[in-house]
Amino acid sequence: LAGALAEGGSPAAAGFEVHYQPIVRLADSATVAVEALARWTHPVAGPVHPDVFVTMAERTGLVAAIDDFVLDQACADAGRLAERYGRPIDLHVNVSAGRLGQHGLRDAVAAALARHDLPAARLIVEITETLRIPDLPRAAEVLGSLRDLGVRVALDDFGSGYNALAQLHAMPVDIVKLDSTLTDVDASPERSGALCRSVLAICAELGIAVVAEGLETAERAAGMASLGCPMGQGYLFGPPAPLDRLS
């Protein structure tokens, strides 16, 4: 990975590309946004699972290069995505939580928006909490600088990582993405319902929108809708796919 991304080697040249997964309004299944997801095909080893290369990249400090590539590609694709869906839609991009202690995230986001003439209101930055956020006040400051641009902030995998409630307490958040372990009613119906209802109540009180992740069946989507969850994402509505093969 380091070799592939070594000085000057662009992620695209190293075999990275961006896939998109629809995020829908549960009331009518209309696509309101897409999440941009990095994909990597190693020239010799073939496709590498994102969990593998994202973890490797986080450990080696290369994840910012991947995040910035996906951010730029997503902003570049905004026009074609609007054409595909017949109207402008929101773009979600992932940013590793490790990035929140560093300078430069705000500038990278501002530069990508300017380069592609995309309104900040169309962009959502998802904070992926695979790493514990060591300095929440500092992270809150960096996220605040993104919001000053007009970009929204989402907490990804909410409920499965570290410090979920402390993060909600400390950081400015516009959208919570309910992790699929919580929306999995089949595994644990009563607990899933109680947990989802509670998170939805907290978010309603704080004025935070919610996206239920991992929706694979119509039953699960209907269940989340009946709890008052406004948005969903999952294989039911479409898997991550290249722009020209989006469902």
139 with 100: CB under 8 angstroms? yes
Element at 124 (helix H, strand E): strand 123-128
Binding Mn ion (rule: CB under 5 A), the pick from 73, 94, 180, 183 is 94
Partner from ligand G, Mn ion, Na ion, none contacting 51, C-beta within 5 to 8 A by type = ligand G
CB of 8 to ligand G, least distance (A): 20
156 sits near ligand G (criterion: CB under 6 A)? yes
Q: Among residues 62 and 140, whose Cβ is nearest to ligand G?
A: 62
77 sits near ligand G (criterion: CB under 6 A)? no
156 sits near Mn ion (criterion: CB under 5 A)? yes
User: What does the DSSP assignment read for 75-94?
Assistant: HHHHHHHHHHHTS--EEEEE
126 sits near Na ion (criterion: CB under 5 A)? no
176: Cβ–Cβ under 8 A, 6 or more apart, which residues? Answer: 154, 155, 158, 168, 199, 203, 208, 209, 210, 211
Which positions from 110 through 129 interact with Mn ion, judged by CB under 5 A?
126
**What is d(CA 133, CA 193) in angstroms, rounded to the nearest whole number?**
28
Q: Residue written as tokens 């009613």? A: 185
Q: Among residues 161 and 230, whose Cβ is nearest to Mn ion?
A: 161
**What is d(CA 41, CA 37) in angstroms, rounded to the nearest whole number?**
13
Binding Na ion (rule: CB under 5 A), the pick from 157, 171, 200, 210 is 157
Residue among 23, 30, 70 at smallest CA distance from 214 = 23
190 sits near ligand G (criterion: CB under 6 A)? no
| Interface with ligand G (CB under 6 A) | 21, 37-38, 50-51, 54, 63, 66-67, 70, 94-96, 128, 156-157, 177, 180, 213-216, 234-235, 240
